[in-house]
Structure 1
Amino acid sequence: MTQASGEVRLPPFAPRYRASGLLLHVTSLPSPYGVGDLGPSALSWIDDLHQAGQQWWQALPVGPTGYGNSPYQSLSSFAGNALIISPECLISDGLLQASDCETDFPANMVDYDRVAPFKNRLIEKAWTNFRAGERSDLRVPFEEFCAESAGWLEDYALFRALKLKYRGSYYLEWPAELVRRRPDALADARRELASQVDQVRFGQFLLVRQADRLKEYAHSKGVALIGDLPFFVSPDSSDVWANPEWFLLDEHRRPRFVAGVPPDYFSAQGQLWGNPVYNWDALRSTEYRWCIDRLRALLAHVDLIRLDHFRGFAAAWHVPAGAPTAQSGQWVPGPGAALFQAVQTELGHLPFIAEDLGVITPDVQAMRDQFRVPGTRILQFAFDGHPDNPYLPNNFLHNTVVFTGTHDNATTREWYEELPGYQRQNLWSYLKRAPGESQEAAPALIDLAWSSSAALAMAPLQDLLNLGSETRMNVPGRVDGNWRWRCTEDMLSLPAFEWLRELTETSHRSPASNRSA
């Protein structure tokens, strides 16, 4: 897999390749500053993965969050979340003093209402110090970053400055000349908000510097990074504001249709996400340039991308705007293979994992297999008693990534506690073991994932630590209370990591196993 030299083995995975890793969002890392970030705790987490024999770290999307603090409702497809800028790195860079960063935040959860203004004040202070002459050696790199990123950064920085001016309101509630992006109105706004715009640019520059250091360090430890790209964008985003032609909007620039999924495992009424849907005809006419730019921007910071809602590339569920539930939607074809052919031509490879969960039709499977993109399998879905269940390890293809659960699932301990009795029996029968207690379920599923034929086995940190419902990351369909869980320093020194290292070696998923493969 990933060697100390920085070489990364990407999909499609070779027949004898076996590796493993853990899923943990950046915001869930320990930190004294209220939210996990890209600083020392992230480097320490890389060390933990390396020592446990893990070769992959998967995080959730790291774009700037808007509604509900969801990483899947980002204010930009290209920008990063300033909340994960490390104050410790800014102190070591000479842009802040330790006294600027004194805080008292809870260790086990993110209090977004307190963290966001705190982090914004730190970035403002760092920007003030930079403007006053601190770290003048960064002036030229900052200017180069702004020039290289201008294609998205100019719109994003102005969007954030305007959002601040209009107290966070949905951009469609701004003055009409700004909604319509009249050139004279934009020019006036840039002059009026020049300092705020530059501060946003500077925050993105700091974020990229820290992300580059983290990736370099991860590779030096033999750990590769999996990023996550949401299929849709937020309706209130710089993407839609700056590029309305790429979306199906009405004459007032409101979505004509919104995204969701029909009734499924997670919701009897389906899920109504509210994102605008794409104008694929318009994107096709540009040979999918905006889509490719999105991918390239994320690949600058990660090695492999999980393509969320992969089935949307074949067809997406379009719900008429204003519908009370997702039940009235219909499937509408997406770009299909044409997009992946364009990406392959442009990038030369397809470093992707397909999140092919939910209602998967033969055309979705055919597209995934045509480009040899690994699919996703979730063990929590496996024990309904049907021998042809695709989530049973007996039915795995090698070019697959298996998870015990995801950010949308209950932790495995909570899942087992709520599992119907017949499915509990199916689980233990499949494992050829006597029925166990709830605390035995997570280790059993991790063992099953690691021993499976899947090329890559992954588990959320919550499952490795055998944690319960209080640590769940997200409940689909619930608006409030998600994305808040954080681990603490003491959790990362538990014996579970030694157990994981031994399991990884015995299941032939260690780096040494792949060097000899």
Structure 2
Amino acid sequence: MVRKAGILMPISSLPSPCGIGTLGEDAYRFASFLAAGGQSLWQVLPLGPTSYGDSPYQSFSSFAGNPYFIDLDLLAKDGLLEPEEYRNLDWGSDSERVDYGTLYVTRYPVLHKACARLLAQDRPDFAAFCEEQKDWLEDYALFMALKGEHNGLSWFQWPEELRLRRPDALDRARTRLSGEVAFWKAVQYLFFGQWRALKKYANGLGLSILGDLPIYVAGDSADVWSNPDQFQLDETGLPTEVAGCPPDGFSADGQLWGNPLFDWEAMKEDGYAWWLRRISFQFQLYDTLRIDHFRGFDSYYAIPYGDTTARNGKWKPGPGIAFFKAVNRALGKKDIIAEDLGFLTPSVRKLLKDSGYPGMKVLEFAFDSRDAESDYMPHRYPTHCVVYTGTHDNDTIMGWMASAPKKDVSYAKAYLRLSKREGYHWGMMRSAWASPADLAVMQFQDLLGLGSEARMNIPSTLGNNWQWRALPGAFDETLSKRLYREMRVYQRLPKAPKTRKSKQ
């Protein structure tokens, strides 16, 4: 594999005047910045619509796109909005943070205006989109319309006839809520039109898009509501056990994620059909896919539903290599990265090896004074891996330098030869680029040398996550030139495309 480099930059973190990053002008500007900086790849976080807690890893759907990412200026250019209908609205007071509460109140009335105009037109491409995506779109649109009718309540709290999807009740709901169902379909049409155009532009610059697929889906999602036979639910539709991870040195109670668990036996019986649809769909959105919590395919931690901590959970066997063989048979060999972070058992290591996927290394993990033989030390890397200085769940480099144990920081400075004059962030990034790893991915916050105020997420906490945004002007030429020089030094520049000689 050719040595490559990329930048992790969530769509939500792009600059924009409307409260959150979108698929508009600044997304195109960022793609151009990456290409000028010698990057091969743009990594984004999951693109789905977020729910309570604002996490992209807890989405209403594995298939739908986030309505907040739809660019309103592009809708105006398409004749679906007037500039005065959105430019002077309250989108939040801090241009460096997403205010999700304000966004929720402000964005949907604007999208209703745009979608009303869209639905009043005769657009064959809209009808074609609905037909093409009906496998998931019909249930998702009805699910969202029903959530609206029930004031946002989780589907677990809906009337039994809707919760258990009795056909006559669903038919009545489709008729009763036909306008809202059409609205949610129109929203998805707008999102996917803008996303596909952006991806085409990025690919044209030589950039691949790396997406992120959470292993689990949110309980309050169209996925679980419309596919209850694929999950461990009781006869009332409630989970019997939920996902999480056990107590460890970092958390005495473990982590209680709360996601419903898959019924792997039922999935095996139908050839993992739901998963195959899910993964196939992701490769319509992305060129490369990072599968989150890879170890959950080897064994998963099951916590009794209703528990308030993860202490009483038990490990149970996952589908193992049979699952990935099914993926390869159905979809062919795909470009997949395994998120294999954390404590790895021999069986997880074997699963990773047997799958053939590259795993991940995180430099911030390398200097833990409790682990002198860490596999995260750069001199221990295989070439077949992806190195990060930190992921979206880690602090920024400068935040880590300020908050990590002094012994760890001192060791990092000595091992990496970090210099305050150069900037600790540049020194750590250079070490990642210099490593044997085939692919090196940096957070954009680290290019800017930002501290903990720019951290994207602190796992197992609610509030103040997923909010950081870059300021206008962040994608400047000086920074892209410096980035390009580093790519040239560490031989991570993209290969120049082959050109045909023109006939004379």
TM-score (norm 2): 0.95
Kindly tell me: are residues 470 and 277 of structure 1, through their superposed partners in 2, closer, same or farther at Cα, counting changes over 3 Å?
same
Distance 1:270 1:439 in 2: 39
Kindly tell me: are residues 511 and 321 of structure 1, through their superposed partners in 2, closer, same or farther at Cα, counting changes over 3 Å?
same
User: What corresponds to 2:69 in structure 1?
Assistant: 84
1:118: Cα distance to partner? 2.2
Name structure 1 gaps, 5 residues minimum: 1-13
Question: Residues 48-89 of structure 1, C-alpha deviation per residue, up to 9 Å, x if partnerless?
Answer: 101111111101111111120110101011111111011111
Distance 1:168 1:75 in 2: 11
User: What corresponds to 2:104 in structure 1?
Assistant: 116
1:291 to 275, 280, 288: 275
User: What corresponds to 1:466 in structure 2?
Assistant: 449
Q: 2:466 aligned with 1:478, yes or no?
A: no
User: What corresponds to 1:419 in structure 2?
Assistant: 404
User: What corresponds to 2:36 in structure 1?
Assistant: 51
User: What corresponds to 2:209 in structure 1?
Assistant: 225
Distance 1:421 1:123 in 2: 50
Kindly provide the amino acid, as one letter, of the partner of residue 464 in structure 2. Answer: G
Kindly provide the amino acid, as one letter, of the partner of residue 318 in structure 1. Answer: A
User: What corresponds to 2:266 in structure 1?
Assistant: 282
Kindly tell me: are residues 109 and 251 of structure 1, through their superposed partners in 2, closer, same or farther at Cα, counting changes over 3 Å?
same
Distance 2:482 2:132 in 1: 45
Distance 2:406 2:216 in 1: 37
Distance 1:418 1:265 in 2: 17
User: What corresponds to 1:208 in structure 2?
Assistant: 192
CA contact (8 A) 1:22 1:458 kept: yes
Q: 2:316 aligned with 1:328, yes or no?
A: no
User: What corresponds to 2:299 in structure 1?
Assistant: 315
1:235 to 216, 219, 225: 219
Distance 2:246 2:190 in 1: 41
Name structure 2 gaps, 5 residues minimum: 499-504
Distance 1:151 1:272 in 2: 31
Question: Residues 197-227 of structure 1, C-alpha deviation per residue, up to 9 Å, x if partnerless?
Answer: 0010011111111111011100111111000
User: What corresponds to 1:74 in structure 2?
Assistant: 59
Q: How many corresponding residue pairs? A: 495
Distance 2:368 2:98 in 1: 35
CA contact (8 A) 1:266 1:476 kept: no
1:368: Cα distance to partner? 1.4
Kindly tell me: are residues 268 and 513 of structure 1, through their superposed partners in 2, closer, same or farther at Cα, counting changes over 3 Å?
farther
Kindly provide the amino acid, as one letter, of the partner of residue 337 in structure 1. Answer: I
Q: 2:423 aligned with 1:440, yes or no?
A: yes
User: What corresponds to 2:173 in structure 1?
Assistant: 189
Kindly provide the amino acid, as one letter, of the partner of residue 82 in structure 1. Answer: P
User: What corresponds to 2:132 in structure 1?
Assistant: 148
Question: Residues 283-320 of structure 1, C-alpha deviation per residue, up to 9 Å, x if partnerless?
Answer: 11110110011111111011001100011111111111
Q: Which moved more, 1:272-281 or 1:145-154?
A: 145-154
1:514: Cα distance to partner? 9.5
1:144: Cα distance to partner? 1.2
Distance 1:99 1:414 in 2: 40
User: What corresponds to 1:457 in structure 2?
Assistant: 440
CA contact (8 A) 2:29 2:475 kept: no
CA contact (8 A) 1:233 1:239 kept: yes
1:324: Cα distance to partner? 2.1
Q: 2:294 aligned with 1:306, yes or no?
A: no
Kindly provide the amino acid, as one letter, of the partner of residue 200 in structure 1. Answer: W
1:171 to 155, 167, 178: 155
Question: Residues 6-48 of structure 1, C-alpha deviation per residue, up to 9 Å, x if partnerless?
Answer: xxxxxxxx2xx10101101100000111110111111111001
Kindly provide the amino acid, as one letter, of the partner of residue 448 in structure 1. Answer: S
Question: Residues 166-218 of structure 1, C-alpha deviation per residue, up to 9 Å, x if partnerless?
Answer: 11011111111100111110000000000100010011111111111011100
Distance 1:256 1:34 in 2: 39
1:437: Cα distance to partner? 4.3
Kindly provide the amino acid, as one letter, of the partner of residue 307 in structure 2. Answer: A
1:91: Cα distance to partner? 1.1
Q: Which moved more, 1:46-55 or 1:419-428?
A: 419-428
User: What corresponds to 1:5 in structure 2?
Assistant: none
CA contact (8 A) 2:14 2:470 kept: yes
Distance 1:513 1:91 in 2: 37
Distance 1:47 1:104 in 2: 30
Distance 2:491 2:372 in 1: 27
Distance 1:172 1:422 in 2: 48
1:494: Cα distance to partner? 7.0
CA contact (8 A) 2:253 2:310 kept: yes
CA contact (8 A) 1:417 1:438 kept: no
Secondary structure in 1 aligned to 2:361? strand
Question: Residues 384-415 of structure 1, C-alpha deviation per residue, up to 9 Å, x if partnerless?
Answer: 35553110111111110000001111111111
Kindly provide the amino acid, as one letter, of the partner of residue 455 in structure 2. Answer: R
CA contact (8 A) 1:39 1:89 kept: yes
Q: 1:393-408 counterparts in 2 under 5 A?
A: 393-408=378-393
Kindly provide the amino acid, as one letter, of the partner of residue 321 in structure 1. Answer: Y
Kindly provide the amino acid, as one letter, of the partner of residue 391 in structure 1. Answer: Y
Q: Which moved more, 1:315-324 or 1:502-511?
A: 315-324
1:436: Cα distance to partner? 4.3
1:474: Cα distance to partner? 0.6
Distance 1:510 1:473 in 2: 27
Kindly tell me: are residues 93 and 164 of structure 1, through their superposed partners in 2, closer, same or farther at Cα, counting changes over 3 Å?
same
Kindly provide the amino acid, as one letter, of the partner of residue 416 in structure 1. Answer: M
1:491 to 471, 474, 480: 474
Q: 2:352 aligned with 1:368, yes or no?
A: yes
Distance 2:167 2:289 in 1: 36
CA contact (8 A) 2:44 2:211 kept: yes
User: What corresponds to 1:129 in structure 2?
Assistant: 117
Distance 1:414 1:145 in 2: 44
2:49 to 60, 64, 74: 64
